[in-house]
Amino acid sequence: MSTNVAPRMIELVHVERSFRRADGTDVKAVNDVSFVIPEGEFVCLVGPSGCGKSTLLQMLAGLLEPSDGDIVVGNKPVTGPGPDRGVVFQKDSVFPWMRVIDNVEYGLKCRGVPAAERREIAWTYLKHVGLSHVERAWPRELSGGMLKRVAIATVFANGGRVLMLDEPFGALDYVTRHQLQDVLLNLWNADGAGTRRTVIFVTHDVDEALSLADRIMVFRSGNKVDDIAVKVSRPRTTDSLLLPEMVEIKRKLLHHLGLDHAAGLDAVADEAVA
């Protein structure tokens, strides 16, 4: 990690978050998590549901306060939500009362960017995600996949240096999910090496993590249990997923998810070492 030349973008130091259950007992959703993410890295957070990965993302977004520990993004401690960090939510977040183009412009408008300029920016990203033909449509006229495209265009247009996506494609069908993965990667790549945005992508889909990430962090019951670098070059295809090193990572991930049988690890000793 210390050999990394890119500056630190995100730093978590002993971050904890507990919730009080209805019966009065405390549950630790996130337990003593620390990590550093350099600028421009594409990181996937993987883990079974309830492992704390979404809670972690909410805290990074500033929508939830940590019970303990520090979160620093771009050298500034996180105290609340801000346009330096864009979020694509799992549920549909596109405002139904604004036309598509107004949705994409929303963040820019909040920050007082002049009308002509923000329209230009919004238009550019809308074209990037392939939705220039529905610019004036109401969101109710769009499909689930198109709404996700609008949400992605919105956070990219807003210009945050960190993008966080919380299981964004979980509810979409196979084809749409893969199309949107491409849309996301293309937008991310379009910035060019050295100026790419930092992406944190929460997913429970192992293959999705393998085809997107530079680095995969695995969470289980609120703890970070593994941190794996994925060095396979881009663009990745279905064949990339069959490379021996990919298969090895996939085995590890499936093991962490408790799917030893699927990973063919029934008789193999626990070999996952961070």
Partner 1 sequence: MKLGARVVRDRWISLGVFIAIAAIWQVLSVIYTVEAVPGEPMVAGWQVLFTKTFLSMADYWAGGLGVPSVAEGADRSYPAAALSLADHSLQTIIRLASGLVVGGGIGLALGLAVSWSRWTRRLVDLPVQFLRTLPLLAMVPLFQLWFGTNIAGEILFVAYGIGVIVFAGTVNAVRNVPSIYIDNARALGASRLTLYRTVILPAILPEMRSTVLLSLGTGWGAVLGAEYLGAQSGLGYVIVYAQQFAYLDRMFLIALLFIVYTSISYWGVSKLTARMLDWAPPSQRL
Rounded to a whole number of angstroms, the minimum distance from the CB of residue 97 to partner 1 is 4
With a CB cutoff of 8 Å and minimum separation 6, the contacts of 81 are: 61, 62, 63, 87
Cα of 77 vs its chain's centroid, Å? 20
**Which residue, 85 or 256, has its beta carbon nearer to partner 1?**
85
**Which residue, 105 or 208, has its beta carbon nearer to partner 1?**
105
**Which residue, 105 or 226, has its beta carbon nearer to partner 1?**
105
Answer whether 181's CB lies under 8 Å from 69's CB.
no
Rounded to a whole number of angstroms, the minimum distance from the CB of residue 99 to partner 1 is 8
Rounded to a whole number of angstroms, the minimum distance from the CB of residue 268 to partner 1 is 42
Which residue do the tokens 């849309």 mark? 183
Which residues sit at the interface with partner 1, rule CB under 8 A?
Answer: 61-63, 80-83, 85-87, 89, 91-93, 95-98, 106-107, 110-111, 138-140, 154-155, 158
**Which residue, 14 or 111, has its beta carbon nearer to partner 1?**
111
Rounded to a whole number of angstroms, the minimum distance from the CB of residue 68 to partner 1 is 23
**Which residue, 111 or 127, has its beta carbon nearer to partner 1?**
111
Rounded to a whole number of angstroms, the minimum distance from the CB of residue 226 to partner 1 is 28
Rounded to a whole number of angstroms, the minimum distance from the CB of residue 28 to partner 1 is 23
| Three-state SS sequence of the chain | CCCCCCCEEEEEEEEEEEEECCCCCEEEEEEEEEEEEECCCEEEEECCCCCCHHHHHHHHHCCCCCCEEEEEECCEECCCCCCCEEEECCCCCCCCCCCHHHHHHHHHHHCCCCHHHHHHHHHHHHHHCCCHHHCCCCHHHCCHHHHHHHHHHHHHHHCCCEEEEECCCCCCCHHHHHHHHHHHHHHHHHCCCCCCCEEEEEECCHHHHHHHCCEEEEEECCEEEEEEECCCCCCCCCCHHHCHHHHHHHHHHHHHCCCHHHHCCCCCCCCCCC
**Which residue, 89 or 188, has its beta carbon nearer to partner 1?**
89
Answer whether 155's CB lies under 8 Å from 188's CB.
no
Rounded to a whole number of angstroms, the minimum distance from the CB of residue 159 to partner 1 is 10
**Which residue, 154 or 211, has its beta carbon nearer to partner 1?**
154
